[in-house]
Structure 1
């Protein structure tokens, strides 16, 4: 995502779990009207709720990324692994 930086506060640094911040999501939605992008689901969720389904979907998609990028999958400090940890995958 062009223009979204850690320094600008749009993305989290890898140390704090990677992914986009609320500020970054707001900027993305301004630039892309009609977008339904949301921040990570990090808390406890009820089984079958919308948030639980979003988490399950993200975990499934990011598991595919782990297969596609084995170098990132092996590195516990990669943005992919940190984001999965934050989402509780």
Structure 2
């Protein structure tokens, strides 16, 4: 499968060019997934065909298609 370059929380990462589950994106970012202690938010910024940037937010159960150069911001908050 083709490898692509993406940015997660400002850090360059290499990933496969495919669809990812929400959980797989969290693991790619943090190395693990623990929804018993953390709540996660994923926002992806990408450019459309006209070069304009737009953002999309994702939640558990969503599928995320990664493409070359996308930027993901992933927040993890402790559940209290």
TM-score of the pair, normalised by structure 2: 0.25
- The answer to which structure has the higher helix fraction is 1
Q: Which has the larger radius of gyration?
A: 1
Q: Which structure has more RCO (C-alpha within 8 Å, separation ≥ 6)? A: 2
